[in-house]
Amino acid sequence: MKNKFPLPINQQHVIKQFSRRHNLAKAQFLYANIATKMIDNLKFVHINPETILDVGCGSGDNSDLLKSLYKKSYYIGLDNCETLLQESKKKLKKYHCFFNKLLNKKNIPKFIQSDMASSGLETEYFDLIWSNLALHWHPQPQKVFLEWYRLLKNNGLLMFSCFGPNTIKEVRLALQDANLETKTLEFIDMHDYGDMLVEYGFTNPVMNQETLNIFYKTPQELIKDIYCIGGNPSLGRKSNLTSKEWLKKLYDALEKQKNEFNNLKLTIEIIYGHAWRHNNQFINNNEKYININSINKL
């Protein structure tokens, strides 16, 4: 595995970037598309979860999708951005108004603020952990996998998606061609994620990759969409505000990439993964822990 942890990601900048957006409405062209594909995949998995954790839930856009598939489940959304969670809670108030009299309180979604690698939630509590386009924002994905393993029940399922290394490769090329000094995120390879899943206790991991090509008429539109889906929280990014001259150099370099139809292409590589927690041990600091309630099953 070539990656060294922690990855050069500024977590506070991730939170700040998403706080500025207030919600993810302008990013749903991508987030909703991938969430729908993940839901379609779940339909072929024989699982009826009582408890679901949505990691990186953002403004709660996945809650209705998951609740529509698993109507009797208890949904918890987790995110580190308070601003996005406030949007989730606004939706939750509407949910209370219309459905509180019809549903058991346990069926009403709940949203909490926490780091995905240290949630503070109960061990072996969830039947399904779902995470849509969130894992790549964390500098310690190996610790995230440890936490997810800890939170899953025996026979629980993990399903996630994240960006792969070819994501925004056109922007990296333009920065290089224009001799602009800044760093962008370097995303982890699909096979490395698969290796991590096995290393941290998961079984039967299945990894898939999809390349999306999005086309634009102008560099400004392309950069605007990158901003909408999360921006650039790399520790090596240009720290001060970019000047008009700096942006013009970037736009000019992107213009040179236009195809014969006068369109710019943006590559988004999506990695899909799912795996099971099929034993009763979890690993932390190279030590294995066994839940006392599971001893009779071993």
Say which CATH number the domain at 33 has.
3.40.50.150
Using the predicted structure, report yes or no on whether residue 289 has a pLDDT greater than 80: no
Tell me whether residue 193 is exposed, middle or buried, using C-beta atoms within 10 angstroms of its C-beta: 0 to 12, 13 to 18, 19 or more.
Answer: buried
Our count of domains for the chain comes to 1
Query: What's the rounded Cα separation, in Å, for the pair 147 and 133?
Result: 17
What local confidence, expressed as pLDDT, does residue 284 receive?
A: 56
Q: Is 271 exposed, middle or buried (0-12, 13-18, 19+ CB in 10 A)?
A: buried
Q: From CA 152, how far away is CA 174, in angstroms rounded?
A: 42
More confident residue, 292 or 295: 292
**pLDDT on residue 21:** 86
pLDDT tens figures, 46-83: 999 999 999 999 999 999 999 999 999 999 999 999 99
* Token pair in block for residue 91: 């939706």
CA atoms of 55 and 14, how far apart (whole Å): 15
**Percent of the residues in the chain that have a pLDDT greater than 70, as a whole number:** 88
Q: What is the per-residue pLDDT across 136-171, written as a single tens digit (0 to 9) for each?
A: 999 999 999 999 999 999 999 999 999 999 999 999
Say if residue 41's pLDDT is above 50.
yes
pLDDT of residue 92: 77
Q: Which residues of 148-187 are buried (b: 16+ CB within 10 A; e: fewer)?
A: bbbbbbbebbbbbbbbbebbbebbbebbeebeeeeebbbb
Helices (H) and strands (E) in the chain, counts: 9, 9
Is residue 205 situated within a structural domain?
A: yes
Residue 105: its pLDDT value, please? Answer: 62
297, part of any domain: no
In a domain, 167, yes or no: yes
Contact 10/17 with Cβ under 8 angstroms? no
Averaged pLDDT for residues 169-190: 96
Give a yes or no: residue 153 inside a domain: yes
Task: Answer yes or no: is 243 within a domain.
Answer: yes
Please check whether residue 5 lies inside any domain of the structure.
Answer: no
Asked whether residue 140 is domain-assigned, the answer is yes
Distance CA 149, CA 199 (A): 11
Domain span including residue 144: 11-291
